[in-house]
Structure 1
Amino acid sequence: MASKEATVYILDVGPTLKAKREGFNVSRLEETKAVLLKLLANKVHMNRKTVYVSVILVGSNHTNNELATVDEDGSAEYQFVDVLQPLGIATLDLMKGVQNDVEYGETMGDCMDGLIVAVDMMSKFCKRLKYEKKIYVLTDACAEINKDDVEPVQGTLKEEGIQLNVIGTDFDSEDGTEQPKTEMQKENEIFFKEMCEAASGNVFSLDEALELTNEFHTKKVKPTAVYRGTLDLGDPESHPDSALSIPVHMFPITMPVKLPTAKKYSMLSESAAADDLPEGHTGLVNQSRTYKLKVTADMAGEDMDVDTEVAADDLEKAYMYGKTIVPIRAVDLDAYKLRTDKSLTILGFFSASTFKRDWLMANTYAVFPAPADPRAEVEIAGLLFGMFEKNSYALCRYVRAEDAEPKLAILWPEITAETKFFYFGQVAFQEDVRQYFFTSLTDVKSTSGKKLEKHRLLATPDMISAAKDFVNALDLMTVEDGEEYLTPEVTFNPAVQRHKQLIEFRALNPTAEFPPVPAPLIKQLLPRPDLLDAAQGYADTLIRLWDIKKLEKPVGKRGYASSLENDKDGIAQLSGVGGTEGSLFDGLADERNNNKRHKSESVFGTATTGSVAGATGFVPGAGSGSAFGQGQSDLAASGMVPFEMASVREVGTSDPVKDFQALVRIATINTQQGVRPAGAGWISVSLAVEQMKAMVLKLILTSFGDQLYEKAIDCLKSLRVFLSHADFADVAMLAGRQEDDKETIQKRVTTWNLFIKEVKHLCLQTSTSPQRIDFWEMLAKQHRKTLGLLTAQEVPVGAGGVSDAEAEQFWEQSQDASVEVVAPAEDEQDEDDLLALMD
């Protein structure tokens, strides 16, 4: 695209244009003016200083051009040709002049005179500089044309590279539609077609011109390099001989279109007298900002009775640290900033087969070798073909300018017959990636953990077939006589186009009502009627098979409130979207226990959270029932981990019971949703149990006197409740395999019985320093019934357990050498844990 444009519009205003075309209510002149206003509006919207336009009237009552002459004998040339505006910037004033000030002429004008004036004006203005030059002639072709200077004019058009386009009010359309016309119009139409063909232009009928000007157009953007530097492979500074450094330029390929921002406008400034303003009327607003030190009660009384103005240079940034304001000087902020150099560096290569399109983010760019650099072209070509043959992409680090934030991007080759370059697409860093897990769409389980084969949420073959038929009925690929409908090239942003239309209309019509939304926009925003008719039968079938019903609940203030409830099969379902009855977070806590919110202390301060016992269903020390109160699947019915639990990854010393319950809940939800183990941070029930066991031993061994004994006993109670109070259905859901439920419960019971023996051995062995016999005595005296061995009467049938006699014998103080105790290493205790032990 040329960097500069020069366009001249020649408008015929002769008396014959007063007539109306058959079937139209406005004159030919009004129709041609509408086309001209659209052409001028496109130039105004471009808002470029290198786009110049001119308007020339032919057949006007006035003569105003540089070529007009009157000889002594009375002969005159280039008469009735009025230059409304010489070549200059397209402005709103010019459009208003065309709309309001152009009148009918009383004399027939010669369009050839106007064309010669336009060519002369353009030659003098553009000289030999590089311009994109065009001339448009809008006429009814009723006036006689002087053809004496046709050949010189055609030669000048070719030499100057000027494109000639003619819009005739009664010309025939390309589709073969003929318009009634006089013999003079027929002759002139043939003449203009020959002229335009010689000048690489086109001839349009008025209907074609109206259709083209009413179409939407994208804004032409001059390609500007966003990066001019080198593409480095290796380190050119440390290894200049082995590294590759290619000069490149990077250009944007796709950019989002944004609505133009409104400017601050002052009616007072606009209404001021033009003589009082340096540039006449103006609505611009000059903003100024002042800073004042607010006088508080403890500051008043001395010399600060009113707010004191402070210079902007005296201000410093400050950040809140709790309730304290910590000032950070500009020099400190500058020191914290990451220092980077402008660069585009290849970090490595990877197979193109592993690339996923959804990795890309932001805009797409193209990387070309630097212009007029043959060596860069050869090096880029070698790298392009090498990556193409190896089917590889490159991972690179991009820094737009010095000290700019580095970005991670991918380069992939694009080789065509016309050009060769790299595509550039930004990707995210690892810490910017968020993974979300959702409930399965194909597996539905009941509260007992049984996988259901038939359920109203499970799709049947008939349902899937109906959905495919419905989608195929709305296919847009062949709806336009075998062609795709609404291709991206002809589908425009409705907000941008409507905004552009309304600004243009309001500029020319300050008080009129806005026009309706254009039909092309409505067409692309609404479904096609023929597609709706064709798909209606499939839609009815889909509604019947899927039992789709309209939700009548009112939408709440925020539009996303919802609550969860179980259906007859025990599956957690959305009971409604919106409304004031529920909350997005309803169902995260067990409301059937009527638990209230409470404040919980942690090493991070006091935070308001949901009741942990209610949230997980734990009832430490309960004598019967499930460890999860109403069933393990209920606690995970919401499919979400509460915010206060999401960050828990291990059992800590501050509140180990709460951490253990959170880990169990996270593991339960992950298992129920079918999330697969991934990474070292994966949480499982067995991991939570092992961490809780290690924490009990740690509390016992590191307690200062009996300070941590109560916390250790709470941990034992919570662990015993979890390992003992479970039914087969709950364990099958957690295990994920219903046939292994009995073995899983037996392992839990065995785990507790072995661990409590381990605790006994730890307390009674003489090698422990200090000895913890007092802790064992506390267990034997105060918690004999709640922390002993699990008996067969306390666990489900078939889950194992010891006899009552063996459970009673366990409390006798005797050594059990078969259990080996591994005490926590001293270096495992960090400073935070030691401080937390003192809570």
Structure 2
Amino acid sequence: MADKEATVYIVDLGESMADCHNGRDESDLDFGMRYVWDKISTTVAASRKTWTIGFVGLNTDETNNSHDEEGLGGYHNISVLQEIGPMTMTELRELRSRVQPCRAHSGDAISAVVVAMDMINEFTKKLKFKRRIILVTNGESPIDDDGGPEEVAEKLNESNIELVVIGVDFDDPDYGFKEEDKSSSKRNNENTLRRLVEACKDGVFGTMQQAVEELSIPRIKPVRPFKAYDGPLTLGDPSKYESAISIHVERYFKTKRAAPPSATTVVINPERSAFTQTQRDEDVEMGGTEFSNVKHMRTYRVNDPDAPGGKLDVPFEELAKGYQYGRTVVPFSESDMSITKYETQKGFSIIGFIPFDSYTPFLNMGETGLIVAQKMNEEAELGLSAFIHALHELESYAVARYVQKDHAQVQILLLKPNPGVEDEFECLYDIPLPFAEDVRSYQFPPLDKVLTVTGNVLKEHRLLPNDDLKEAMSDFVDAMELSGFDVDEDGNPVDYAPVDEVYNPIIHRISQAIRVRAVDPEAPIGPPAEILLRFSKPPEKLIKKAKQEIDILIDAAEVKKVPEKAKGRGKKEVVKPLSGLDIDSLLGESKRTVISPENAIPEFKQALATAEDDETIEKAVKQMGDIVRKLITDSFSDLFYNRAAENIRVLREELIGYDFPNLYNKFLTALKKSLLSGELGGDRREMWFKYIIAGKLGLVTKMESEMSDITEADAKAFVR
């Protein structure tokens, strides 16, 4: 059964919560709600009906709680803004609009805790729930402690309710924060709340600074063990041989691949009232009233001259898959497909053994499993224990054929024994192995020698590292060693990147963005948390420590900076050769003004490289355009289409590089008109559709060049 939780948030909305303190540019309320919204949005994202939330406002202008209605004193300016229950996106947005600073300042925080406690007791009854109250306040409003907080703490303990008090600018010696110039009333209120928490058996007292800082630490979703297999593990066939071994085992997932939340295509409802009841029910499933799910409908048609419009709709049931065999399509019906499927039956059998040293870890594929004996089965426990110890003593792995259920795919698993010497837990760990079709063998040239075309072996070559480079690289690797870099408080070396502190930045970054958008669709998404980027680059201290080895390695490897490509209007930066010689002047090349059709591409590039003004570039583009038009006009069928397309491609790339995309767009617009109108020697539409559109030679957009005036939408409309 899923865990049941009932959490009530108490947030101080008093007048003092609208002020900014300790150099912050946001109010105490906004600062505290950063923590509350993160917790609530996480619960909403989990979408579990058994995780319920309530919300109580403290120091509200109005009063709305059951104790005040009964005429009990001391419960003024306390309002229940959200009754306990599952929260949807719509309720989250409505609650956000109601959480605003008020003018009241006389609400009692301990009375609000009593209201929240009664809400939880009334909702949970005597059922098994995890009960929690979270109080967020800056402690400026007066607190009535005449009856003593110990009496309230005793009732909380009787109801097994955990009390969490997080104060804005509360002192926390363990965290290392202390507010200077604190008022005496706030100090007394803070001490009262601390006494209340200390009197609870399940209580947490902290400062909001630490709570907000810890929001950047990703929360790992706890996963319950899932039984993937329950049946015999066999060695041999028990139905045929008496000597065969059969042990009843259970297999659970040890590791499971985590994936980021998937997106769903939705459409905004412009007028909510215009939708039918069925559509409203679908909107409820979407978690709100602002969006509606998008339905996809596909229609299959074939050419039929007798049908209206020349097209005949074909039902999906009448379709069959077809596979290409040469130039012929071979149809396969569902009955034919069933013959090709490999029929499997549920089973788990050992097919061989291999020694430890003959297995390489890079063959691991997929998720790890855990195999234990069936519960309350002494014979299975004894048999599996003996098998595990036998594998361990022989230093061998077992290889097994595994089928999770009937008609499932076959997996080959490697079984590793865990005799429980270190963790006192006997089990088998398994990992999927690749089939022959999964292995890709690539051959690379050796790193320590060069083989010439004549078969000679060279040990010294410009592509091979010399002794100085090898020594420099070895020293650099030793200097960048992380194993002893990080130390604990006592100075002892510790692991710099523990496995449980290395988080997947993609998954947690997407989850962070979703939570921000859920609470406030207009709020900007902040930068990624530093903890997600911590291991994306080496530590700064380590780099400074290894600076000498890095400099020596750079000198030994002769590392040189590659000149950046210049982005200037007119011409690209000409990279001078290391020799400093002017190759063009040595070869006697003059500035070319006429481009010949026989050598168009090199001469066009040279004309752009030597151009001194925009007019020269425009003339070169015009000549290249005339050459393309002549190739298309003189082409018999598609004989010269490839040459024309290659000229267009070079024209496009060069003009993008020289920041003249609009010249290309102007040329292509005129070429399209000529092609489709038949001006270039008849029907040349094949050149447009097959070589220009299919070759992705369309208009240059702003995404490709900042100098372009064409948007993505304009480019798509142009090719249509």
Query: Quick one: distance in 2 between partners of 1:288 and 1:325?
Result: 28
Query: Quick one: distance in 2 between partners of 1:237 and 1:149?
Result: 75
Query: Quick one: distance in 1 between partners of 2:20 and 2:381?
Result: 60
Q: 1:288 to 1:401 in 2, by over 3 A?
A: same
Equivalent position to 1:491, from 494, 498, 502:
502
1:512, distance to aligned residue in structure 2 (A): 4.6
Deviations 1:420-442 (A, max 9, x none): 33212001123432322221111
Paired residues of 2:320 and 2:334 also in contact (CA < 8 A):
yes
1:167, distance to aligned residue in structure 2 (A): 0.5
- The residue type equivalent to 1:458 in the other structure is L
- The residue type equivalent to 2:73 in the other structure is A
Q: Name the SS of the counterpart of 1:253 in structure 2.
A: coil
- The residue type equivalent to 2:222 in the other structure is K
Whichever of the two has the greater Rg, that structure is 1
Q: 2:76 matched to 1:79?
A: yes
Query: Quick one: distance in 2 between partners of 1:7 and 1:402?
Result: 43
Q: 1:531 to 1:130 in 2, by over 3 A?
A: same
Deviations 1:729-752 (A, max 9, x none): xxxxxxxxxxxxxxxxxxxxxxxx
Q: 2:412 matched to 1:404?
A: no
Query: Quick one: distance in 2 between partners of 1:369 and 1:93?
Result: 48
Aligned to 1:437: 443
Q: 2:381 matched to 1:384?
A: no
Aligned to 2:139: 141
Deviations 1:799-828 (A, max 9, x none): xxxxxxxxxxxxxxxxxxxxxxxxxxxxxx
Q: 2:342 matched to 1:366?
A: no
1:57, distance to aligned residue in structure 2 (A): 1.5
Query: Quick one: distance in 2 between partners of 1:135 and 1:375?
Result: 49
- The residue type equivalent to 2:549 in the other structure is Y
Query: Quick one: distance in 1 between partners of 2:94 and 2:532?
Result: 30
User: Which region of structure 1 is more displaced relative to structure 2, 309-318 or 116-125?
Assistant: 116-125
Aligned to 1:352: 356
Paired residues of 2:14 and 2:60 also in contact (CA < 8 A):
yes
Query: Quick one: distance in 2 between partners of 1:132 and 1:422?
Result: 34
Q: Name the SS of the counterpart of 1:10 in structure 2.
A: strand
Deviations 1:747-795 (A, max 9, x none): xxxxxxxxxxxxxxxxxxxxxxxxxxxxxxxxxxxxxxxxxxxxxxxxx
Query: Quick one: distance in 1 between partners of 2:51 and 2:241?
Result: 49
- The residue type equivalent to 1:110 in the other structure is D
1:553, distance to aligned residue in structure 2 (A): 11
Q: 2:200 matched to 1:201?
A: no
Query: Quick one: distance in 2 between partners of 1:159 and 1:379?
Result: 48
1:33, distance to aligned residue in structure 2 (A): 1.6
Query: Quick one: distance in 2 between partners of 1:190 and 1:369?
Result: 54
Aligned to 1:672: none
Matches within 5 A, 1:297-696: 299-300=304-305, 302=306, 306-371=310-375, 376-414=380-418, 415=420, 416-417=422-423, 419-481=425-487, 482-549=493-560
Deviations 1:331-359 (A, max 9, x none): 12112211111222222333233332112
1:150, distance to aligned residue in structure 2 (A): 4.3
Matches within 5 A, 1:33-48: 33-48=33-48
Aligned to 1:161: 160
Q: Name the SS of the counterpart of 2:293 in structure 1.
A: coil
Query: Quick one: distance in 2 between partners of 1:247 and 1:107?
Result: 64
Paired residues of 2:417 and 2:429 also in contact (CA < 8 A):
yes
Aligned to 1:749: none
Q: 1:372 to 1:63 in 2, by over 3 A?
A: farther
Structure 1 residue runs without a partner (length 5+): 555-579, 582-839
1:79, distance to aligned residue in structure 2 (A): 3.4
Query: Quick one: distance in 1 between partners of 2:209 and 2:536?
Result: 25
1:248, distance to aligned residue in structure 2 (A): 0.6
- The residue type equivalent to 1:111 in the other structure is A
Aligned to 1:118: 116
Paired residues of 1:38 and 1:214 also in contact (CA < 8 A):
no
1:402, distance to aligned residue in structure 2 (A): 1.2
Aligned to 1:96: 93
Query: Quick one: distance in 2 between partners of 1:259 and 1:523?
Result: 20
Query: Quick one: distance in 1 between partners of 2:309 and 2:275?
Result: 42
User: Which region of structure 1 is more displaced relative to structure 2, 113-122 or 379-388?
Assistant: 379-388
- The residue type equivalent to 1:428 in the other structure is P
Q: 1:248 to 1:140 in 2, by over 3 A?
A: same
Normalised by the size of structure 1, how large is the TM-score?
Answer: 0.60
Paired residues of 1:8 and 1:118 also in contact (CA < 8 A):
yes
1:467, distance to aligned residue in structure 2 (A): 0.5
Aligned to 1:172: 171
Aligned to 1:231: 233
Structure 2 residue runs without a partner (length 5+): 284-288, 488-492, 566-600, 603-720
Greater relative contact order (Cα 8 A, min sep 6): structure 1 or 2? 2
Deviations 1:356-391 (A, max 9, x none): 211211122222344565554444444333433333
RMSD: 3.2
Q: 1:253 to 1:513 in 2, by over 3 A?
A: closer
Paired residues of 1:46 and 1:219 also in contact (CA < 8 A):
no
Q: 1:246 to 1:306 in 2, by over 3 A?
A: same
Aligned to 1:14: 14
- The residue type equivalent to 1:334 in the other structure is S
Aligned to 2:663: none
Query: Quick one: distance in 2 between partners of 1:413 and 1:210?
Result: 44
User: Which region of structure 1 is more displaced relative to structure 2, 499-508 or 209-218?
Assistant: 499-508
Aligned to 2:291: 283
Paired residues of 2:448 and 2:459 also in contact (CA < 8 A):
no
Equivalent position to 2:256, from 244, 254, 264:
254
Paired residues of 2:370 and 2:428 also in contact (CA < 8 A):
yes
Count of equivalent residues: 547
Query: Quick one: distance in 2 between partners of 1:26 and 1:553?
Result: 43
Paired residues of 2:450 and 2:457 also in contact (CA < 8 A):
yes
Paired residues of 1:340 and 1:402 also in contact (CA < 8 A):
yes
Aligned to 2:596: none
Q: 1:515 to 1:213 in 2, by over 3 A?
A: closer
- The residue type equivalent to 2:138 in the other structure is D
Normalised by the size of structure 2, how large is the TM-score?
Answer: 0.69
